[in-house]
Structure 1
Amino acid sequence: MAAKPQEKSGESNKRKRIPNQKPEGTIENTKKPKLISKPKKLAPSSSNVHSKVAKKPFKVPKKDYQKPSTRKDEGEDSKKLHRLRAKELAEARKKKRKKHYTLEQELALLWEKMRRRNIAKEDRSRLISEALMKMKGKISEIASSHVLSRVLQTCVKHCTQDERNAVFMELRPHFIALASNTYAVHLVTKMLDHAPKEQLAEFISSLHGHVATLLRHMVGSLVVEHAYNLGNATQKQSLLMELYSPELQLFKDLVTMKENRLEDVMAKLQLQKSSVLRHMTSVLQPILEKGIIDHSIVHRALMEYMSIADQSSATDVIQQLSGPSLVRMIHTKDGSRLGILCIRHGSAKERKKIIKGMKDHVDKIAHDKFGSMVHVCILSVVDDTKLVSKVIIRELEGKLTELLLDQNGRRPFLQLLHPNCSRYLSPDDLTSLSLSIPSLRNKGESEGEAAEVDSTGEGDPSDTSIQLHEGGKKDSFKRRQELLINSGLAEKLVDACCENAESLLRSKYGKEVIYEVATGGADGILHPSLDEKLSELHEAIVSIAAQPKSDVPEEEHILEHFHSSRAIRKLVLDCPAFASTLWEKALKGKCEVWAKGHSSKIINAFLETSNSDVKELAKEELQSLIERGDLALPVVEGASAGKE
């Protein structure tokens, strides 16, 4: 017990070492003093093995050695397992959620095979029959599926008529529900495309009472429009009449009428105008608010609505249609007429919206049969010629040559050169331009004050009964002058005709444009400001006509071509300046060569012309041909002048 306190006392006498303290008189080392490290482990050997437990040295066998997996590999394995488990879980959930999930997987495999282009017809028919057998009794349930509706579409397209009839019978009770489904709507339209007349009539009959509801639906309206386009006149009328009155929705027998106009239907069924107007407003207003205005059945319904609408209702519709949305409507006949009504009866602000809404679409509209008529109306009615030149004229100039050769694209230019000419516009086109809304018709506008179809008196006399209402306040000639001359369009027209004279003359539609330009337009609108340019055009045409006749039969000379010969003949009759140039530089001394075939019409024109100076130029040379019998005089003076 006495030793312990001695140890404590001994320890207290020892000098305690302070860490990092340097002894006095020593030089500072560059390296810090190393702490006492742990003793290194020695390899197992016989000398350092514990005596009591003798262990053999461990040796790793070479064959059984495996490189330990890194953390990265372990992470990738775990991710793969996680994805597999997630996929299995998703598959299990789909099986619970989708009633026909397994069937969908099977049919998807068949579909991938049957829709190939290089598959034999027999193999495709076998696959389609197998798919339809699997779907039998479940078609109405799976028609709304995103995948299976596509399988059904392929089957309906390529299956036999008996198989298609079986599909129709299964789908017949569910047509209305399927027509509003995003995926099934394509199947329904495909069924209508391949349906015989009996099935189409049955489908249209099943729409009774649901037309107005479906037209307010973005998807359902596609089915009604498709059925409307496929149906005959009676079926179209039956779909339309449901929009007129609630009585026509309830009683199917009233719908089977042959009357086309709403006014005739009202008169026969003794319907009140206020009731019809109220019902049509309730049907059409949601359609306009939702912007479902692309369909021809809607355009027809709106046209009938405008015929009975009061001033306030008609003005509201024009305000809603005026703008970029009108571009989506003018591709149909009734849509084009609605556009014309909006331009004629709209205010200056609304016309401005319509024209600005056509920006970047002018070229496409000009190529359209009905859309081009809206351009014609704008050029004939709108007084803001600066806006029209900036939007319409500038975009038309960008595709000038292409439009001049197009049947519809040339119409705006012909309207400026020769307004409302019955040679270039059909009676139906002229009727469209003369339409007006009864409730918005100007008070001072009457049938006697309306402008005639052909202001120059040319064309078919029977067409002069059609009369046009001018919507603008500006003088018609002044408006044309601002759009043609002041905008620079006329000069570009003449240049385009000079550059493409031969192609325009040989074209069925281009020849009429070059004729109007070469003659200076109606009322001489291109004179005198462009007289020099017109002389250059005459020279360009004559230089082509002066070329020698080719020996190759396939290369038809411009004087012998069917269209160009008639265009040049008309120029000889109506343009003395051109006729003189043509005679002096192309025909003088060569009439014997051109006295036969289509070119003989041009030679005869020098005898038929009413201009005495032109007649005198060719009289001597042509008289010798007449005496020899190579050229025949016209039976009646000027009888063939109106023929082409």
Structure 2
Amino acid sequence: MAAQPQKKTSQSNKRKRVPNQKSEGATAVTKKPKFASNPKKLKPNSNNVQSKDGTEKPFKIKGPKKDHQKPSVKKDGVEDSKKLSRLRSKELAEARKKKRKKHYSLEQELALLWEKMRCRNIAKEDRSKLVSEALQKMKGKISEIASSHVSSRVLQTCVKHCTQDERNAVFMELRPHFIALASNTYAVHLVTKMLDHAPKEQLAEFISSLHGHVASLLRHMVGSVVIEHAYNLGNATQKQALLMELYSPELQLFKDLVAMKENRLEDVISKLQLQKSSVLRHMTSVLQPILEKGILDHSIVHRALMEYLNIADQSSAADVIQQLSGSFLVRMIHTKDGSRLGMLCIRHGSAKERKKIIKGIKGHVDKIAKDKFGSMVLVCIFSVVDDTKLVSKVIIRELEGNLKELLLDQNGRRPFLQLLHPNCARYFSPDDLTSLSLPIPSLKNKGESDGGETVEEDKDGEGDHSNASIQLNEGGKKDSFKRRQELLVNSGLAEKLIDACGEMAEGLLRSKYGKEVIYEVATGGSDRILRPALDEKLGKFHEAIASIAAQPKPDEPEEEHILEHFHSSRTIRKLILDCPEFASTLWEKALKGKCAVWVKGHSSKVISAFLETSNSAVKELAKEELQPFIEKGDLSLPVAQ
């Protein structure tokens, strides 16, 4: 009996791999585990195992091997049953789809044809055959399958690549169902594709079929896309027909009344002797759901809102301005009327509403500045908003981030030109200047409220209303020059403008659009706004232009010197006439003693400017050197007027 414990001890020692262990109950003094998070868990006991490095680890009793540890061999019967179950479930799914979808089999066939016909490298004849085959399969069922996710795509490809006769057949089959299809998520793309390829007669027929449904479709997120598409494709008469349905229930019911030449809503009311209050109520019922749903991307909605503001009373107009002020405005200012709505909101909105508008365009300033109509909204903000700290923080900082690119852009330069030379007819068209001064008739009384009290000013000098009183603020109250100075000079924008113009002076002078920015910066802006604070930087800028002009005339005729280039020579000539400081620098650095090279060609206009300038000091600088060229006839003295 004594031999058995010894045998057990030897087995235990072998398992534990403890060297020189003399007795059964002996345990070695162990160190704490190196990475143990909780030392209390590993108290020395007889169940722990001692490793080679002397540390103790908990002993785990190994049980019998589980089945998954052994290499499993699957039987053929099991595999076959799984395959059969998958096939059965697939067949059941197909059967359910066939029951649910009337033309499921046809859609599967069309999908296979579509995969072939939409390949880019397919021959034109082969695609035409596939398109004809697909249209033949769909004949008589087009209106039923046009709302399908798959079939609508097949139809779009067919309409794009089919012949005009085939397209006409599709149009005739879809004609009775256009209104229903226009509101469908998938069919709407087919309808717009049909309009893109429709001849004038079909487009007119489609727009006529929309009569009575324009208002309801505009309130629909999908249907509004079709109305906008038709509005953009239509001529002036067709656009007016779509718009007039939004004005009055009479115009919505009676088709003959829509065909009118009058464009303005006020003229329509006068011609048809409609009640203004009735028109206002109807337009409110149409436009209010559109505003609430945020369907504000479409130009037809912008036009309708502009007409509404022209006839609205004070409370209605103020309510629309309040609803539009904010992030919604970013989605509107890409159109002419949307841009004008934005400017009206800025000019007539309260301080809080203006702040919402400025914060709403945060992150989009660069894109807005490059847009033809959006840039005018930034111009309006610079001209009206008195909170120059907010404008500098949000708008000017974003403009500075892409300054060099914007200075060369036709639209991107406009906000800078407005600060340098406000409302200049050279840089803004008459239509642009009209947009900046458009009024809302019911809100055109500046700085007054319903009770005749002036609206309180906030910290930034803007009117605000905390109660139900109506805001009639039109434009800012801060002095225009002071506002410009804070936005341009105090914000640090002027210094960055001068630096950027100095770095890219030659490119700006040669640019059709950049030359105007460099001219305004070099002259110091309107009312000499950059002087005297930045005289030193402007002097260095003048020297930078003069150093470019001082470069020798290139030997190759393709390379035009800055004094001979069409745009740059005329800009430098204007600078000589209007900026005596620049004229003196240019003469001393680039032209003195070198006039013989430049008295012919485009550069002669630059040289003759020294004789035409009204500044006597500049004229005296060049008179002596230019006199021989006048006597020879190379230069002519200006004719006295």
Question: Which TM-score bucket, shorter chain as reference?
Answer: 0.7 to 0.9
Instruction: Name the counterpart of 1:350.
Output: 353
Find the counterpart in structure 2 of residue 450 from structure 1.
none
Structure 2 CA distance for partners of 1:627 and 1:94, relative to 1, 3 Å? same
Secondary structure of 2:140's aligned partner: coil
Match of 1:156 in 2: 159
Q: How far off is 1:625 after superposition?
A: 1.1
Corresponding residue of 1:196: 199
**Map of 2:619 onto structure 1:** 615
The residue that corresponds to 1:213 in the other structure is 216
2:629 pairs, out of 608, 625, 629, with 625
Say if 2:326 and 2:356, in contact at 8 Å, map to a contact too: yes
Alignment of 1:466-481 (within 5 A): 471-481=475-485
State the distance in 1 between where 2:79 and 2:262 align.
75
**Does residue 1:310 correspond to 2:313, yes or no?**
yes
Q: What are the Cα deviations for residues 78-109 of structure 1, in whole angstroms up to 9, with x where unaligned?
A: 44332221111111111111111111111111
Question: In the alignment, which residue of structure 2 is the partner of 1:428?
Answer: 431
Distance in structure 2 (CA, Å) of the matches to 1:495 and 1:474: 29
The residue type paired with residue 29 of structure 1 is Q
The offset of 1:593, in angstroms, is 1.4
Match of 1:85 in 2: 88
- Assess, with a 3 A threshold, how the Cα gap between structure 1 residues 177 and 636 changes in structure 2: closer, same or farther: farther
**Matching of residue 388 in structure 1 with residue 391 in structure 2:** yes
Measured in 1, the distance between the counterparts of 2:426 and 2:77 equals 84
Paired position in structure 2 for 1:102: 105
Q: Which residue of 1 aligns with 2:145?
A: 142
Question: Hey, what's the Cα distance between the residues in 2 that align with 1:576 and 1:565?
Answer: 17
SS at match of 1:626: helix
Root-mean-square deviation over aligned CA pairs: 1.6
Question: Secondary structure of 2:353's partner?
Answer: helix
Specify the alignment match of 2:59 in structure 1.
Answer: none
Secondary structure in 2 matching 1:423: coil
Instruction: Say if 1:72 and 1:413 are closer, same or farther in 2 by CA, change over 3 A.
Output: farther
Helix, strand or coil: the match of 1:359?
coil
* Aligned match of 1:550: 554
Pairwise mapping of residues 322-333 of structure 1 onto structure 2 (< 5 A)? 322-333=325-336
One-letter amino acid matched to 1:441: K
Kindly provide the amino acid, as one letter, of the partner of residue 257 in structure 1: M
Specify the SS of the correspondent of 1:29: helix
One-letter code aligned to 2:134: A
In structure 2, the residue matched to 1:536 is 540
Matches of 1:324 and 1:515 in 2, distance apart?
36
Pairing 1:373–2:348 present: no
Q: Does 1:253 align with 2:228?
A: no
**What's the counterpart of residue 4 of structure 2?**
29
SS of 1:420's equivalent in the other structure is coil
Question: Percent of pairs identical after alignment?
Answer: 87
Secondary structure in 2 matching 1:147: helix
1:9 is aligned to none
What's the CA shift for 1:230? Answer: 0.3
1:358-390, Cα deviation, whole Å (9 max, x unpaired): 111010100000000000000110010000000
What displacement does 1:71 show? 4.1
Cα distance in 1 between the residues matched to 2:83 and 2:509 = 73
1:412 equivalent to 2:415? Answer yes
Shift of 1:163: 0.7
> 1:293-343 CA deviation, whole Å, 9 max, x = no partner?
000000000000000001111111111111111100000000000000000
Distance in 1 between the 2:81 and 2:387 partners?
Answer: 73
* Pair 1:591 & 2:595 matched: yes
Counterpart Cα distance in 1 of 2:489 and 2:77:
82
Asked if 1:516 is matched to 2:491, the reply is: no
Aligned to 1:606: 610
| CA distance in structure 1 between the partners assigned to 2:410 and 2:640 by the alignment | 33
User: 1:72: how far off?
Assistant: 7.8
Q: Is contact 2:444–2:474 with CA below 8 Å preserved after alignment?
A: no
* Structure 2: runs of 5 or more not aligned: 9-70, 449-472
The answer to whether the 8 A contact 2:446-2:474 is kept is no
Letter in 2 for 1:595: V
Match of 1:576 among 557, 577, 580: 580
What's the counterpart of residue 18 of structure 1? Answer: none
The one-letter code sitting in structure 1 at the alignment partner of 2:571 is: A
Of 245, 263, 269, the residue aligned with 2:266 is: 263
What is the aligned partner in structure 1 of residue 243 from structure 2?
240
Tell me the distance in 1 between the aligned counterparts of 2:84 and 2:303. Answer: 62
- Give secondary structure in 1 for the equivalent of 2:637: coil
Judged with a 3 Å threshold, the aligned counterparts in structure 2 of structure 1 residues 309 and 630 are, in CA distance, closer, same or farther, namely same
**C-alpha distance in structure 2 between counterparts of 1:470 and 1:414, whole Å:** 23
1:170 aligns with 2:173: yes
Q: Which amino acid aligns with 2:437?
A: S
- Are the equivalent residues in 1 in contact too, given 2:400–2:493 (CA < 8 A)? yes
Q: CA shift at 1:440, angstroms?
A: 1.0
Partner amino acid, structure 2, of 1:492: K
Match for residue 120 of structure 2 among 105, 111, 117? 117
Task: Say which of 566, 574, 581 aligns to 1:562.
Answer: 566
Residue deviations 1:28-54 (CA, integer Å, cap 9, x gap): 63479xxxxxxxxxxxxxxxxxxxxxx
CA contact (8 A) 2:348 2:474 kept: no
Distance 1:102 1:491 in 2: 70
Residue aligning to 2:470: none
Aligned residues: 554
Query: Any idea what the Cα deviations from partners look like across 1:96-143, whole Å, max 9, x if unmatched?
Result: 111111111111111111111111111111111111111111111111
Structure 1 spans left out of the alignment, 5+ residues: 1-25, 33-67, 446-468, 638-644
Matches of 1:394 and 1:551, distance apart in 2 = 43
Cα deviation, residue 27, structure 1? 4.2
For residues 4-25 of structure 1, give each alpha carbon's deviation from its aligned partner in whole angstroms, at most 9, with x where no partner exists.
xxxxxxxxxxxxxxxxxxxxxx
Deviations 1:394-436 (A, max 9, x none): 0000000011110110111100000110110100000000011
What is the aligned partner in structure 1 of residue 26 from structure 2?
none
| TM value normalised by structure 1 | 0.84
Partners of 2:402 and 2:173 in 1: how far apart? 52
The question of whether the paired residues in 1 share the 8 Å contact of 2:339 and 2:376 is answered with yes
Residue 77 of structure 1 deviates from its aligned partner by 4.5
Which residue matches 1:23?
Answer: none
Of 314, 321, 324 in structure 2, the residue corresponding to residue 321 of structure 1 is 324
- Please give the alpha-carbon distance, in whole angstroms, between the structure 2 residues aligned to 1:339 and 1:443: 18
Counterpart Cα distance in 2 of 1:352 and 1:94? 54
- Tell me the distance in 1 between the aligned counterparts of 2:374 and 2:308: 21
Q: Which has the larger radius of gyration?
A: 1
Q: Structure 2 length normalisation: TM-score?
A: 0.85
- Shift of residue 588 of structure 1? 1.6
Measured after TM superposition, the shift of residue 633 of structure 1 is 3.3
